[in-house]
Structure 1
Amino acid sequence: MVDSMAPEAQQTQARPRGRMRAAQREFTRSRLIDAAIEVFAERGYAKATVDEIADRAGATRATFYLHFKAKSDMISELMARGEEHYRSVYQDLGPIAHAPTTASVRRWLATAMREWDSVAGFARPIGEAASIEPQIHALTVAQQSREIGELADALRNGAPALSVKDAEVYASVLLAPLRYYFELYLRGQRFDERRVLDVMATSWMAVIGRIAEQPKRRRTAAAGVAAQSR
């Protein structure tokens, strides 16, 4: 029997079906990742199994392998989710870097630290996986470089005269204590958050304030040279 449906109608009918299948695949993939986060939190990355993750997601082992080659492949997805949480936080730093005060820097740091609750479920298994999977370790190194780049971009948004290389050096220096206390937080080690924020804000302000002052110092120096030449 010959199909009398016009090619255009067939294509129109195929497109919604294709979109539905793609949406279903994405839903299943997301469900598997959510399940992995739960299993990693309960069992740890090393002890978690593919069967446990698939079962928690209400899927089969075969379905898992349609989306991932191994549980280590899920780590890049967790890293992407963690980065998404911080992207807007770094964007908010640009205006602060333009005219920083210790209070505004402290508020930004407090906001960044509040995000730790949201990303802990991603960060713990990432750290565990990086310690035993060389390819994951390489991904975390690349992620740290991206984080430095994002902070460097935020600093340059506030001080466009700052060179890219200098901004990256400043960013790496500023991030070091924040990462240190994040690691303590992940390990469940308590610390005096208020005191840490006070001291960190002061040290960040010393750096960011210097960056913000550079264009002013250049203008003052240029004005002085111009006055001497008259």
Structure 2
Amino acid sequence: MPANSKQSLRDEQKLQTRARLLDAAKDLFATRGYAAVRVDEIAAAGGASRATFYLHFTSKLEVLRAIAEQSTAPSALHFYEDLDRVLDTGSRAEFVAWMTRAIAWFHEYKDLLPAWDEATALEPEFREIARRGILALPNAMTSYLARWPAARRDEARLRVELLVAQLERFFTRWAMQGTIDVTAAQAAEVLTDIWFPALQTPAPAQAGSE
């Protein structure tokens, strides 16, 4: 077998091992949270040794970070790029539809949310990753930000960050703790009542107004 074929085979095997470790970690984090899972358990569930694990990742935290970068971060960014488009339409109905999709997105990733929360509380590095992730969301909304006066764009970003925070908190209480008794459709309507007006661009200042 040519040397380059052997190298390609080794590279493919490494990619497969890494993927197995990520899938194993995702399952473990979803069922047991972040703190309780050990590197040895991830390696065993992925069909690898502890030494092999450390060929691919430096720590349990790096695995969780890779899962976030691989799945949740890109899709979350897409949702706020889509929100930018929705706000351009000025349509409340479009906003309700977006809110419904956002709730469904949280539901897709709900099994991993406790692990994110644990890692954010326990790991300063992951807390910084989470902070950067939140900051990236309003920055993806270029049309929305451009409609705000330059002096108020930090406020515009804050409004989006508060929307993200409320959606996360609502979903935790609704789908995970069961302390809010409402349908997804009802929640989307009420959240729209709150956030559709809150995200509107301020009217231009009138000439001569104080």
Class of the TM-score when normalised by the shorter of the 2 chains: 0.7 to 0.9
Check whether the contact 1:101–1:205 (CA below 8 A) recurs between aligned residues.
no
Where is the helix percentage greater, Structure 1 or Structure 2? Answer: 1
What amino acid is aligned across from residue 108 of structure 1 in structure 2? Answer: W
Offset, 1:107:
0.6
Partner residue in 1 for 2:192: 201
Q: 1:129 aligns with which of 119, 127, 136?
A: 119
Q: 2:23 aligns with which of 29, 34, 40?
A: 34
Q: 1:111 aligned to 2:91?
A: no
Partner residue in 1 for 2:85: 95
TM-score (normalised: structure 1): 0.75
Offset, 1:67:
0.8
The alignment covers a number of residue pairs equal to 202
Partner residue in 1 for 2:46: 57
What amino acid is aligned across from residue 124 of structure 1 in structure 2? Answer: P
Report which stretch shifted further, 106-115 or 90-99.
Answer: 90-99
Partner residue in 2 for 1:149: 139
Check whether the contact 2:95–2:192 (CA below 8 A) recurs between aligned residues.
yes
Q: 1:188 aligned to 2:188?
A: no
Q: 2:68 aligns with which of 55, 79, 83?
A: 79
Structure 1 pair 59–72 and aligned structure 2 pair: CA distance change class (3 A): same
Q: Which of these two proteins has the greater Rg computed from alpha carbons?
A: 1
Deviations 1:54-107 (A, max 9, x none): 111111111111111221221211221211222322222222111222211011
TM-score (normalised: structure 2): 0.82
Check whether the contact 2:39–2:60 (CA below 8 A) recurs between aligned residues.
yes
| 3-state SS in 2 of match to 1:59 | coil
Unaligned runs of 5+ in 2: none
Deviations 1:143-188 (A, max 9, x none): 22223433x43623xxx33244343133123323212213325643
Q: 1:175 aligned to 2:164?
A: yes
What amino acid is aligned across from residue 118 of structure 1 in structure 2? Answer: E
